[in-house]
C-alpha cells in the first residue's frame, strides 16, 4: 500500500516535469524593477520608473509562444532630483501630459540556448515606435521566474531631450534600460 | 626674523582668495538658474573648482606647517591676538569643510564627482535624498559662515593698514624690489 502511494507520487512528479506545463504570468510588481542608466557630463547616472504594468506569458518549454507587454508610467520617473523629475516631464523630454505611457510589445521570442533569449518587439515612446531586440535571461526561482535584461536605446531616436538638450555633450544619447521582472507561475 | 610671508605662501593665499570669491559668486548664480545644459555644465565646473581649492588648501596647510608665518605686531592686545588666531583657524577649517560638504552632498544626491571629467572621486555615501538635502543645507550654512569670517578677515586687514598703520596687510602683498 505504502509502495503504491510512493509510486503514485513519483509518477505524478514525473508527469509534472515531463509536461513542462509551467507558465509564468503573474507579474509581481514588488519584485520587479525598471531602471535606466545614462551619462551626464561624462558621469554615470541612474534613474528608475516606480510604476509600470506588465502582462506576460512564458513557458520555458515553449518560448516561441511567449509574449510580453510592458507599459511604463512615465510620471513615475525618479531621476534622483526633484528638479530633474520636473524637467523630464516637460514637452522637450517625455512630454508626459501628451504621452503618459511608454510601451513595449513583443513579437518574436528567440531562444539563444541556455537561459538566454532574444525578444523582438516594438518600443513606443513619445509617439515614436521603433523595432527593438531585447536580450534577456530567464531564471526559475522556486515558484516564480525572473526575467532580466538590458536594452540600449538612443534618446534622440525618440525625441527625448529636444531644444537646448538636443546636443549630446551634456546628456549622452545612449540610455541603457535595465529591467528585472518577476512573475509567478500560474 | 621674517617680516614677510614667503612668496609661496603669498601666491597660495591670493590664488585661493581669488578662487573663493569666484566660487561664492558662481555658487549663488548657478543655484538660481533653471535646469538647462548650461546649468549642468556650471555645476560640474563648480565641483571641479571646489576639488581644486581643496587640494590647494592641503598644499597651503603643508607649507604653513613647514614655514612659520611672521609674528603678529607687538602692539596687538591679547584679545586681538586671540581673535586673529581663532579667525585664521576657522578659515582653514571652512576652506576644507566647504568643498568636503559639497562633495559628500553630490555623492548623497547620486551625482558622482569626476574631477575635470577625468579623475573619479570615490562616492563615499550611498544615494540618499534626505541626507543629500541635509548636506546641501550644511554646505549653504558653512558658506554663509565663511562670508561672515571673510568680512572679519578683510575688515581686520584694513584696520591694521589704515588705523593701526602696521605691516599686517603689506606683508602679504607682493614685495617691491628695492
- ipTM associated with this complex: 0.77
Phi (first) and psi of residue B27, to 5 degrees: -60, -45
Compute, in degrees rounded to 10, the torsion defined by CA atoms B112, B115, B119, B123: -30
Region A148-163: mean pLDDT is: 96
- Domain ranges (residues) in chain A: 21-185
Contact status of A50 with chain B (Cβ, < 8 Å):
no
What chain B holds in terms of domains, given with CATH numbers, is: 7-172 (1.20.950)
- CB contacts of B111 in chain A (<8 Å) are 40, 43, 45, 80
Interface test with A, best of B35, B44, B121 (most A CBs within 10 A): B35
* Contact in structure between B142 and B98 (CB atoms under 8 Å): yes
Residue B52 sits at the vertex; the CA angle it makes with B47 and B54, to the nearest 5 degrees, is 95
Cα(B139)–Cα(B143) distance, integer angstroms? 6
Contact A138, A58 (CB under 8 A): yes
pTM of the model: 0.81
Residues of A in contact with B41 (CB under 8 A): 41, 170
Contact assignment for A171 to B40 by CB distance below 8 Å = yes
Q: What is the mean pLDDT of residues A171-179?
A: 97
- Residues on chain B touching A165 (C-beta within 8 angstroms): 37
- Interatomic CA distance for residues B88 and A17, integer angstroms: 77
Q: Using DSSP, state whether B32 is helix, strand or coil.
A: coil
Q: In this complex, is the C-beta atom of B111 within 8 Å of any C-beta atom belonging to chain A? A: yes
Measured between beta carbons, the chain B residues lying within 8 angstroms of A83 are 35
CATH code of the domain made up of A21-185: 2.40.128.110
Mean pLDDT, rounded, for B123-149:
95
Could you read off the pLDDT of B146-170 as tens digits, one per residue? 999 999 999 999 999 999 999 999 9
Burial of B25 (0-12, 13-18, 19+ CB in 10 A): exposed
Amino acid at each position: 500500500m505504502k509502495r503504491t502511494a510512493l509510486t503514485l507520487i513519483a509518477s505524478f512528479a514525473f508527469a509534472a516535469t515531463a509536461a513542462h506545463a509551467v507558465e509564468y504570468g503573474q507579474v509581481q510588481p514588488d519584485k520587479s524593477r525598471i531602471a535606466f542608466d545614462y551619462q551626464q557630463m561624462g558621469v554615470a547616472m541612474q534613474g528608475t520608473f516606480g510604476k509600470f504594468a506588465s502582462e506576460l506569458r512564458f513557458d520555458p518549454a515553449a518560448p516561441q509562444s511567449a509574449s510580453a507587454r510592458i507599459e511604463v508610467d512615465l510620471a513615475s520617473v525618479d531621476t534622483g532630483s526633484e528638479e530633474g523629475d520636473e524637467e523630464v516631464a516637460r514637452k522637450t523630454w517625455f512630454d508626459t501630459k501628451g504621452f503618459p505611457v511608454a510601451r513595449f510589445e513583443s513579437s518574436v521570442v528567440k531562444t539563444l540556448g541556455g537561459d538566454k533569449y532574444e525578444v523582438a518587439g516594438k518600443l513606443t515612446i513619445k509617439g515614436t515606435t521603433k523595432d527593438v531586440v531585447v536580450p534577456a535571461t530567464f531564471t526559475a526561482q522556486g515558484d516564480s521566474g525572473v526575467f532580466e535584461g538590458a536594452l540600449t536605446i538612443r534618446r534622440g531616436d525618440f525625441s527625448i531631450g529636444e531644444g537646448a538638450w538636443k546636443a549630446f555633450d551634456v546628456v549622452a544619447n545612449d540610455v541603457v534600460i535595465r529591467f528585472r521582472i518577476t512573475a509567478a507561475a500560474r | 626674523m621674517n617680516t614677510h610671508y614667503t612668496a609661496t605662501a603669498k601666491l597660495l593665499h591670493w590664488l585661493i582668495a581669488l578662487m573663493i570669491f569666484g566660487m561664492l559668486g558662481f555658487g549663488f548664480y548657478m543655484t538660481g538658474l533653471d535646469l538647462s545644459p548650461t546649468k549642468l555644465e556650471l555645476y560640474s565646473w563648480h565641483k571641479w573648482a571646489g576639488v581644486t581649492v581643496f587640494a590647494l588648501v592641503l598644499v597651503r596647510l603643508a607649507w604653513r606647517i613647514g614655514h612659520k608665518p611672521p609674528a603678529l605686531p607687538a602692539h596687538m592686545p591679547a584679545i586681538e591676538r586671540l581673535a586673529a588666531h581663532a579667525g585664521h583657524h576657522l578659515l582653514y577649517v571652512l576652506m576644507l569643510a566647504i568643498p568636503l560638504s559639497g562633495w559628500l552632498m553630490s555623492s548623497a544626491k547620486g551625482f558622482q564627482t569626476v574631477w575635470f571629467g577625468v579623475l573619479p572621486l570615490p562616492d563615499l555615501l550611498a544615494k540618499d535624498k534626505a541626507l543629500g538635502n541635509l548636506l546641501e543645507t550644511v554646505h549653504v550654512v558653512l558658506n554663509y559662515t565663511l562670508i561672515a569670517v571673510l568680512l572679519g578677515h578683510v575688515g581686520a586687514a584694513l584696520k591694521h593698514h589704515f588705523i593701526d598703520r602696521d605691516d599686517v596687510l603689506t606683508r602679504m602683498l607682493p614685495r617691491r624690489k628695492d
